[in-house]
Amino acid sequence: MRKRVLTAFLALCLLILTACSQIGTLVSEVTNPGEFPVEIEGVTIAARPSRVAVLSASLADVVLALGRETQLAAVPADCGQKALSTLQKVDPANTQAVVDLAPDLVLLDASQSGLAGPLTEAGLTVLPLAPAVDREDFERLYAQVSSALAGGGAGYDDGITVAQDVFTTLDDINRIVPKEKVVTACYLYDTESAAVTGDMLASTVMNYAGVTNIFRSLSGGVYDFDSLRVSNPDVIFCAPGVQETLLSDSRFANFVAVKNHRVFELDPSLVQWQGRTVVTLAYEISAAAFPELLEEQDPQDVDPIDEINSQVTAELSPSPSPSTVPSPSPAPAGDYTPLQLEDENDDVFRMQQRLEELGYLEGDYTGYFGEYTQTCVMIFQQLNGLEETGVADAETLTRLYSDQAIPATGAEGADTADTAGE
């Protein structure tokens, strides 16, 4: 029987994750109920709520991950999870419709905090919660939602456990994605300014899926086209409809992702929801970025679990350092003089030579540190986990000339059209 390794692995992870969550919820409800009243973000919840109106599809996804959906009375109209399809849909902006539900608790996303005032004035208990931005914050969000629905103590602990289970699955996915090279990527809501940035959980999930978000140093979900052009990602993920616009836009014609047919549409709900949907997001990203993980294996009677264990073991085993391009003769480690914009000397020339060998710089260079060289240095810093200052300080130069320097694999350097050679 033919098998797809990543698919089988994901199915196994989801099965274990679901079972652990259901068992944890059952035990807490039967033998160790949470404590009320409980205070969360300054809001006091007097007793266990049985009619909860969730006005955020992402928070509804979290409630579903916690196994607490039986306490829900209504969800927003854009809540598309099948398990919640029978619940009443409500327009979050329709205050009277929410009041008419007579919920004993209303959960809001922090971005909807403008709705809190009118609902509170109507006598409802309203709890706005900020979305998670990283692994630690993911535990905070789950602990808060679980405490609100199941009480402090046991409820809080249940939330932490489920959050950790979700990220354990992401850890497992991360173990089987290739590590031989850096694969850069982004998620675009449009072709002008909106994207997933480093202050969003989806950026963290991208990392677990094996790709580096080129906008991880940005915040607020906003990017500029020049930064996208310079970073030139290996893979572009985008909202439905954006792919067609992008492929018809001449500005993208020379992008690596476009040339290699690696532009993929992903539903924004996968990027925005913070329940177990984050595992689906990691799977979709890994499957697109590393199609070799989905290659069909030879039809043999092999246990798929054995295949998975072999891959995970291989990833965890020590492996030789990847071969790197030969480096020029640099100054002794730790004895570098910082190089910056408008410097012109042999040290700049040597640095440009090394950047060229690693694939970050294209075209002629003369030893003058111009804006193009500055951009190349920033890209090198970005892909090597350094602060993106554009100044080649001692830390940057030490990494640049070391065997651990990460080449710009697939990035084809920066665009050389305007200031090539400098």
* Site of tokens 């399809």: 85
The CB-based long-range contact list for 38-47 (8 Å cut-off, 24+ gap) reads 38/147, 38/148, 38/151, 38/152, 38/155, 40/127, 40/129, 40/144, 40/147, 40/148, 41/127, 41/128, 41/129, 41/144, 43/125, 43/126, 43/127, 44/125, 45/105, 45/125, 45/127, 45/148, 46/125, 47/104
Strand 43-45 with 38-40, pairing: antiparallel
- pTM exceeds 0.95 for this model: no
Report the pLDDT value the prediction gives residue 420, as an integer from 0 to 100.
Answer: 41
Whether 110 and 215 share a structural domain:
no
Whether 11 and 58 share a structural domain:
yes
Average pLDDT of the segment spanning 329-333: 49
Whether 125 and 157 share a structural domain:
yes
**290 inside domain:** no
> CATH code at 340?
1.10.101.10
* Partners of 194 in the β-ladder: 222
**330 inside domain:** yes
Whether 75 and 128 share a structural domain:
yes
- Predicted confidence (pLDDT) at residue 154 exceeds the cutoff of 90: yes
Report the pLDDT value the prediction gives residue 384, as an integer from 0 to 100.
Answer: 87
**401 inside domain:** yes
**Residue 168: helix, strand or coil by DSSP?**
helix
**212 inside domain:** yes
> Which two structure tokens, joined as six digits, stand for 200?
């969003």
**Greatest extent of the chain over all pairs of C-alpha atoms, in Å:** 75
Summarised one tens digit per residue, pLDDT across range 344-379 is 998 999 999 999 888 888 877 888 988 888 888 988
Report the pLDDT value the prediction gives residue 381, as an integer from 0 to 100.
Answer: 86
Report the pLDDT value the prediction gives residue 137, as an integer from 0 to 100.
Answer: 97
Summarised one tens digit per residue, pLDDT across range 174-210 is 999 998 889 999 999 999 999 999 999 999 999 999 9
> Which two structure tokens, joined as six digits, stand for 336?
């570098």
**Residue 67: helix, strand or coil by DSSP?**
coil
The Cα 406–Cα 397 span in angstroms is 13
Give how many domains the chain has, as a whole number: 3
Query: Which residues does 345 contact at the CB level (< 8 Å), separation at least 6?
Result: 367
**406 inside domain:** yes
Cα torsion 273, 278, 284, 286: sign:
positive
Summarised one tens digit per residue, pLDDT across range 58-91 is 999 999 999 999 999 999 999 989 899 999 999 9
Q: pLDDT-derived band of residue 258, with 50, 70 and 90 as boundaries?
A: very high
DSSP state of 189: S
Whether 113 and 245 share a structural domain:
no
- Predicted confidence (pLDDT) at residue 393 exceeds the cutoff of 60: yes
* Site of tokens 């990602």: 233
Average pLDDT across the chain, whole number: 84
Look up the domain containing 129 and give its range: 5-172
Whether 148 and 59 share a structural domain:
yes
**312 inside domain:** no
| Alpha-carbon radius of gyration of the chain | 25
The Cα 42–Cα 237 span in angstroms is 38
- Predicted confidence (pLDDT) at residue 334 exceeds the cutoff of 90: no
Containing 185, the helix (H) or strand (E) segment is: strand 184-188
* Site of tokens 């677990």: 208
The Cα 78–Cα 109 span in angstroms is 14
Whether 13 and 160 share a structural domain:
yes
**306 inside domain:** no
Whether 134 and 194 share a structural domain:
no
How far lies 172's CA from each of 62, 276, 307, 315, in Å?
21, 14, 14, 11
> Which two structure tokens, joined as six digits, stand for 328?
């020029």
For residue 94, report the phi and psi dihedrals to the nearest 5 degrees. Answer: -90, 90
User: Domain boundary at 172, 206, 240, which?
Assistant: 172
**124 inside domain:** yes
Report the candidate in 411, 409, 412, 416 with the shortest Cα–Cα distance to residue 365: 416
User: Domain boundary at 229, 244, 267, which?
Assistant: 267
Does residue 37 have a cis peptide bond before it, meaning omega lies within 30 degrees of 0? yes
Whether 253 and 359 share a structural domain:
no
Whether 364 and 249 share a structural domain:
no
> CATH code at 248?
3.40.50.1980
Whether 135 and 51 share a structural domain:
yes
* Partners of 35 in the β-ladder: 152
User: Domain boundary at 251, 267, 283, which?
Assistant: 267
Whether 18 and 166 share a structural domain:
yes
> Which two structure tokens, joined as six digits, stand for 380?
């090198």
Report the candidate in 370, 418, 408, 414 with the shortest Cα–Cα distance to residue 392: 370
